[in-house]
Amino acid sequence: DWTMAEFRKTKIEEIRDQVGDGKVICGLSGGVDSAVAAVLIHEAIGEQLTCVFVDHGLMRMNEAEQVVTLFRDHYNIPLIHVDAEEQFMTGLSGVTDPEKKRKFIGGAFIDLFEKEAKGIGGADFLAQGTLYPDVIESVSFTGGPSVTIKSHHNVGGLPERMNMQLVEPLRELFKDEVRELGRELGLPEIFVGRHPFPGPGLAIRIPGEVNKERCDILRKADAIYLEEIRNAGLYDAIWQAFAVLLPVKTVGVMGDGRTYDNVCALRAVTSTDGMTADIYPFDASFLSQVSTRIINEVQGINRVVYDYTSKPPGTIEWE
């Protein structure tokens, strides 16, 4: 009879056996997987673990603060917070191709992570929140079609370069099981139940050029959308919901003036693994309420549209 409590105990023993008195470094992304992996490993080996959070300035509203508060204050886990927003914004200027955005962000992320790892005198192990579907996907990628639809970023190449072994305690788990393990470990529900969020963050939700101003506009719209979804009790019924800031300006009227501002698209899908997805069929009244709030409260947006594309043929993200 298999329970999460037993899984937790077994994994803790396994981590201790693997790591011995070695040093472990873990990159936090703000997502569920890396958070659960870090808390589990911390329970197993305590201060031998250091977490590194490379903050690229492409997170959702308040998310960076939440990560820092949870790990430093709540769990007391040694955490290095790298505020790299400026560096990422500079590097992204002029970049419009989606894959080039991913390449730059992935590369800069690894460079910063490596620098911090060296700064603490290196580590013997690199911890990752790799899940079972990631394991299968990377296997099928080598034997399967040579077309990569989107390159997902991780710390590829770093373990070899720094001579680190991998610690991947979640390799046998599916997403829902990781959430269950997170609850078992006492992680707050706001963390555990969180929708998946891509490594390149808001950069791939801003088609065209990314800059801080556009990130700030998108963060505000996205926060309103998610707040309305939570208030309506719909958050857990949805796999992912987010706003996209389009590189298109349209004309509007507000008061007795003409506006000429950005379009915001809303996306919400149901899915079990992200491989296929259906659009979430909101009530029209819900969508018009979100639209009204965004246009009234977010300067820089004067039109809101809803994305009615399933996957396939669409992808979940817009880039």
Q: Is 196 in the site for ligand XMP (CB under 6 A)?
A: yes
Site string for ligand XMP, 202-241 (x = CB under 6 A): --------------------------------------x-
Q: How far is the CB of 266 from ligand XMP (least distance, A)?
A: 15
Nearer to ligand XMP, 289 or 309 (CB): 309
Please report, as residue ranges, which positions from 237 to 256 form the binding site for ligand XMP (by CB under 6 A).
240
Nearer to ligand XMP, 158 or 295 (CB): 158
Nearer to ligand XMP, 155 or 295 (CB): 155
Backbone angles phi, psi at 258, to 5 degrees: -95, 135
3-class DSSP state of 209: coil
Strand partners, 268: 241
CB of 271 closer than 8 Å to CB of 231: no
Q: How far is the CB of 18 from ligand XMP (least distance, A)?
A: 25
30 is in an annotated binding site: yes
Backbone angles phi, psi at 309, to 5 degrees: -100, 125
Whose tokens are 């396994």? That residue is: 14
What sign has the CA pseudo-torsion 202, 205, 210, 216? negative
Whose tokens are 């926060």? That residue is: 223
State which of residues 198, 243, 244, 291 lies at the interface with ligand XMP (CB under 6 A): 198
First to last CA, the chain: 43
Q: Is 316 in the site for ligand XMP (CB under 6 A)?
A: yes
Please report, as residue ranges, which positions from 89 to 128 form the binding site for ligand XMP (by CB under 6 A).
102
Size of the site for ligand XMP (CB under 6 A): 14
CB of 237 closer than 8 Å to CB of 280: yes
Binding region for ATP: 29-35
